[in-house]
């Protein structure tokens, strides 16, 4: 059995949005308080995560880390 190609994970670039939307939903695309990370295998987006940088999510302001 062949192993799949290694995945590449990177921050979503504006030029990749249309490609990613073909396979995945980006419901928080224009939320504006964090980046989308996208996992790619062979130029196909296979997974994503949205990192919220505000606390609580969806609100602007400073983030508190304890």
Question: Structure tokens of 26?
Answer: 């980006």
Sheet holding 44-50, edge to edge: 8-11, 36-41, 44-50
pLDDT tier at 51, thresholds 50, 70, 90: confident
Question: Structure tokens of 2?
Answer: 């062949």
| pTM of the full structure | 0.65
Question: Structure tokens of 49?
Answer: 């995560």
Q: Measuring CA to CA, which residue among 12, 10, 8, 47 is closest to residue 31?
A: 12
Strongest mean pLDDT among 25-29, 38-42, 56-60 = 38-42
Spans of all domains in the chain: 1-66
**Chain mean position to CA 14:** 11
Higher pLDDT, 30 or 58: 30
């Amino acid at each position: 059995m062949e192993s799949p190609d290694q995945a590449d994970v990177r921050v979503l670039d504006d030029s990749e949005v249309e490609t990613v939307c073909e396979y995945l939903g980006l419901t928080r695309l224009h939320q504006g308080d964090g980046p989308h990370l996208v996992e790619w295998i062979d130029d196909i987006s296979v997974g994503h995560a949205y990192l919220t940088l505000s606390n609580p999510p969806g609100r602007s302001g400073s983030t508190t880390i304890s």
